[in-house]
Structure 1
Amino acid sequence: MAIHKLDFGEFNEIDYDLIAIHTTLEDYRLAYFINQKLDLNLKKSIKEIQIADKEGEVHFSRFHYYDKKKDISWDLIQNIGEVIQQKKEENQSLFSNIDIEVAKRVYMLPEFKKVNYFFKIENSEEDNDILLKIQYALNSIDQIATNYTVDINKIKSKNNLIF
């Protein structure tokens, strides 16, 4: 009988670049500006990113574009989500036994709590000039405060980026 071995080292290869974006823009407006500056066609994906957290299940918005000619996948991903929990107030007061909704912030990548969005570029060439051009184009959007590339090897929760 033959023995088949799987080498899990192949699955650990990182074939994407990640840019952190700090902005106050809504996701659809940011996608619109990125489409203009980078000549893309980001569209809201019906497949939101779902992450189960100890607080509950969280949905993060995602805008996606796949360039068939260059075989590059572009994703604009929300980093901050909210979980609404029901808590029962058990005080001995006039408003006792009232259900209170409490919203708690949950982050897709908890190591980057100040980042609003991530721009994930899959299958891109390992050319830093292209990343610098993308960052320069993002900097030309007035509502973006700053953006920078993220060292993927330092991310503890990189499984959240698999979708």
Structure 2
Amino acid sequence: MATQKIYIHEFEESDYEVIAIHTTLEDSRLAYHINRQLEVLLARSEEDLQIQVKDGLTGLSRFEFYDEAQFITWNLVQNKSEIANVTSGTGDLFASLQEEIATTVYLLPEFKKVDYLLKIENLEDDLDVEALVKKISDIEWVSLAYCIDKDKLKSKHNLIF
């Protein structure tokens, strides 16, 4: 019997775009403004995107919308979150002293300054991504929005959700 090998790169999707968004807005307010600008219906997902790191487990907020007419999936995901760890003092003098240390966790560590990521899956060729970026940039509280080159991403496996 012949064996057939399937390589993981055969399953990698190339029909998605990732837009980086720099803003001071809260996640729900950003989703509201994106809904108005792009005429989509992003809604809060029932479950946050969970990331496990050595310091613990954290959740990144996620808003999603599936456009049934065009078969396009939209995901707005927080890029960074903090995990708070409580440590106790050592020795007799500081034994009762407790300190809280925060560790920042990133969905895409190579883009640490990015606040949110908008992942658009199953894009058609007629959808102009640059026009979408321009509309997002037109939101008053968005300081910067741009497309991320997905071929240069080191942690693209984090975008599988």
Q: Same fold (TM over 0.5)?
A: yes
In structure 2, what is the Cα distance between the partners aligned to 1:3 and 1:21?
45
**AA at the equivalent of 1:19:** I
Encode CA deviations 1:71-104: one digit per residue, 9 max, x unaligned.
00001010010111121112544x5323322221
Cα RMSD (Å) of the superposition?
A: 1.6
- Give the match for residue 28 of structure 2: 28
Encode CA deviations 1:45-76: one digit per residue, 9 max, x unaligned.
01211111222222111000000110000010
How far 1:37 moved relative to its partner?
0.7
In structure 2, what is the Cα distance between the partners aligned to 1:91 and 1:153?
50
In structure 2, what is the Cα distance between the partners aligned to 1:9 and 1:100?
45
In structure 2, what is the Cα distance between the partners aligned to 1:101 and 1:146?
32
Matched, 1:145 2:139: no
In structure 1, what is the Cα distance between the partners aligned to 2:76 and 2:91?
44
| Structure 2 counterparts to residues 15-94 of structure 1, below 5 A | 15-90=15-90, 92-93=92-93
- Give the match for residue 112 of structure 2: 113
Contact 1:50 1:59 in 2 (8 A): yes
In structure 2, what is the Cα distance between the partners aligned to 1:159 and 1:9?
11
Q: Aligned pair count?
A: 161
**AA at the equivalent of 1:97:** S
How far 1:120 moved relative to its partner?
0.5
Contact 1:91 1:97 in 2 (8 A): no
How far 1:36 moved relative to its partner?
0.6
- Give the match for residue 8 of structure 1: 8
* Identity in percent: 44
Q: Which 5+ residue runs of structure 2 have no aligned equivalent?
A: none
Q: Which 5+ residue runs of structure 1 have no aligned equivalent?
A: none
Question: SS state of the match for residue 109, structure 2?
Answer: coil
Question: SS state of the match for residue 28, structure 1?
Answer: helix
- Runs of 4 or more, structure 1, over 4 Å off, are none
TM-score (norm 1): 0.91
In structure 1, what is the Cα distance between the partners aligned to 2:140 and 2:112?
22
TM-score (norm 2): 0.92
